[in-house]
Structure 1
Amino acid sequence: MDVLFIASVSVIAADPAASRRLYVDALGLPLERLDGEYFASERIEGSRHFGVWPLAEAARACFGSEAWPADRPVPQASIEFELADADAVAAGAAELRDVGFELLHEARTEPWGQTVARLQSAEGLVVGLSYAAWLH
């Protein structure tokens, strides 16, 4: 697998308004509402994407439900590693699964056009393999 760069880092917020007080109000990051309660920016130097991802939206993206499963650690953040194309995401997901990692979901294309497969690390971090054409 050939990781090109870190595509995204997002805090996963049980209380998105409290997180926005830190990241937007106090730190002055140029986060904009993208969808629902999801605030993010692709205009922070040194980062391709930084966001405040509501826990309910992370749960929906990973499990199709707004509740994070009780049998899994509640994540505090997510990180996505960018690959060359959508096929590389599918191949990378298969590679991880073949060496014993349990995927939260297989490679799929989200409504906004990003192809992503996700797993949860031993630390509870949501880890994604990603291809987002606009980042290239």
Structure 2
Amino acid sequence: MDVQFVAGFGPIVRDDGASRAFYREALGITFEEQSPGYLDTKSLGGVKVFALWRLSDAAESTFGSTEWPAHLPVPQAWLEFELASPEAVEAGERQLREAGHEILASTHVEPWGQTISRLLSPEGMLVGLSYFAQLHDD
């Protein structure tokens, strides 16, 4: 097998309204309705990193502990939206917080240089707003 790239990725939605509000309104992603209830977009750039991330490492990066907090759903996937700058990550976090979303990890710089803020999506996916200079071509 010779996998070439990630052809698609998205959450499995349980609450249409909450998910549409999060991705459309809070994150500003424009979707087309291809069939009733199936929304997609082909306007986002491709995946730069596909990784198997251990839960203990995700917990450490998000909470500073290798244990995922018992009061939060354990995420089944992670998704990071790359923004234009560290300042855009801060502004995006502020916008999400003002919209009522619980931020799990406020904007900070990881040891490897990535600026990141994290929260859980309505589906329980670990979502990051990110800026990592190494992923930008310019």
TM-score (norm 1): 0.65
Structure 1 or 2: more strand by fraction: 1
Structure number with larger C-alpha Rg? 2
1: CA distance, partners of 2:69 / 2:83: 28
For structure 1, the 5+ residue unaligned runs are 1-8, 10-45
2: CA distance, partners of 1:105 / 1:47: 22
Counterpart position of 2:62: 62
Counterpart position of 1:24: none
For structure 2, the 5+ residue unaligned runs are 1-8, 10-45
Partner AA of 1:59 in structure 2: A
Counterpart position of 1:121: 121
Give 1:111 shift.
0.5
Cα distance per residue 1:69-120 (max 9 Å; x no partner): 1111111110000110000000100000001000001110100000000001
Counterpart position of 1:48: 48
Counterpart position of 2:71: 71
2: CA distance, partners of 1:47 / 1:105: 22
Matched residues, number: 92
Cα distance per residue 1:38-97 (max 9 Å; x no partner): xxxxxxxx5200000000000111111111111111111100001100000001000000
Partner AA of 2:88 in structure 1: A
What's the secondary structure of 2:80's corresponding residue?
strand
Aligned ranges 1:1-136 → 2 under 5 Å? 46-136=46-136
Partner AA of 2:77 in structure 1: A
Runs of 4+ in 1 over 3 A off after TM superposition: none
